[in-house]
Structure 1
Amino acid sequence: MLAFPDKGFVFLSTPKTGSTAIEAAFAHRAAMLIRRPSSLKHMTARRFERVIAPILDEFGYPRESYELVCVIREPVDWVASWWRYLSRPAVAGQPQYTGDLTFDEFAGRVVGREIKIGNLGRFVRNAEGQEVVSTMFRYDHLDRAVAWMAERLRVDAPELEQTNVSPQRPMEISATTRARLEEHFAGQAALYERAL
């Protein structure tokens, strides 16, 4: 999470969307930065409004004075990124390890709710269920997010360094499982379609 309330925005770090690279590029300009623990780094809009917004308000930045911004990834690609990420050797031996699962198996378990990876729809909503992230950028157009942030900060757009890169694995999925996955994430796909 990167807060730039004096520039009118807060960047929420959506998991598996290049947020670590964005943080590395803009961290030195942020009024507030949270990197650890990951549950705070990747705080949802709901948690932000409950925990961080009151702090910013206390220091002269009421919630209506800035917008929330994040990056959204196409849901099937997002699930695949989680699958690759959880197959790293560092995760071997842990319950969430996916190195022994095909993507088709992993996707089926996500749809069956055996494996929980979060929900992009809930990520952008407050406690009342209202969508409060007003600007969303597509992961596959990360340059737009970088350019937008750089313009707001009145700096040149930095080159993003590749960080937190997951292992490459062949992503094979049956048409049936893909259809189930797309149906399961239909609401999140709609968010992605609206993103810049």
Structure 2
Amino acid sequence: MLMFWKQKLVFLSVPKTGTTAYEAALAPHASMSVQNPPELKHAPLYRYNRFFRPMFEKVGGEEMETLAVVREPVSWLGSWYRYRKRPFLSGRPNSTENVTFDEFVQAYCRGDAPAFARVGSQAKFLEPRPNGVQVSHLFRYENPTRLIDFLEQRLEVKLDLDRANVSPTMELDMAAITRRKLERKFSADFALWESTAIAD
């Protein structure tokens, strides 16, 4: 998570949406850069609302705007699957080394998902709060140009991004019935991503 005090902007770090590269490029310009622990680096909107927002408002008086990136849900799950297939996780409960992508998605759709399929939900991460707090600016992962243009204008910087924390490429096969189950059980995630098309 990055906070830009002068510009009244907070960049929320949704996991697996390419935010690590933005954080590396923008950290020198930020008033506050939260890199660790992961629970704070990837603070969802509800945690920002509960802990960070009251602190910012108490010392500044003005409400901060928030920004986040969302990714097409299957692509987002694919990134998690590939990341957890890496050798350094071999033998651990959250490893996907002996699991197909279809099995991973099936497990993700279960109410009691095993450790390797517990990756959360983008819609839940960015769910508006009862007090009206919601994400002010939402950008699509697949269209980085919009986000870069916004950041360069808002922060008055020139961005030079390097790819960071990239999962290895591989084929991701999923049965049609699994896709339908995913779309049904996580309709909010698909709706969230589709909502960003209006501005593309």
The equivalent residue for 1:23 is 23
Q: Tell me, what secondary structure is at the counterpart of 2:136?
A: strand
Deviation by residue 1:61-113 (Cα, 9 ceiling, x = unmatched): 43x2x211100001111111110111111111211101111100000000113
4+ runs deviating over 4 angstroms: none
TM-score by length of 1: 0.92
After superposition, give the CA deviation of every residue in 1:91-143 in whole Å (9 maximum; x if it has no partner): 11211101111100000000113132111112112543856012110010122
Do structure 1's residue 170 and structure 2's residue 175 form an aligned pair?
no
Aligned mates of 1:148, 1:129 — CA distance in 2 = 27
SS in 2 for 1:6: coil
Residue in 2 aligned with 1:148? 150
What is the match of residue 80 of structure 2? 82
Q: Is contact 2:49-2:133 (8 Å) kept?
A: no
Mapped to 1, the partners of 2:76 and 2:12 lie a distance apart of 16
Q: 1:3 touches 1:33 (CA, 8 Å); kept in 2?
A: yes
The unaligned stretches of length 5 or more in structure 1 are none
Contact between 1:5 and 1:61, CA under 8 Å: does it hold in 2?
no
Gapped regions of structure 2 (runs ≥ 5): none
Aligned residues: 193
Cα 1:72–1:2, aligned 2, differ >3 Å: closer, same or farther? same
Cα displacement (A) at 1:59: 2.2
**1:5 deviation in Å?**
2.9
Partners of 1:179 and 1:131 in 2: CA distance = 32
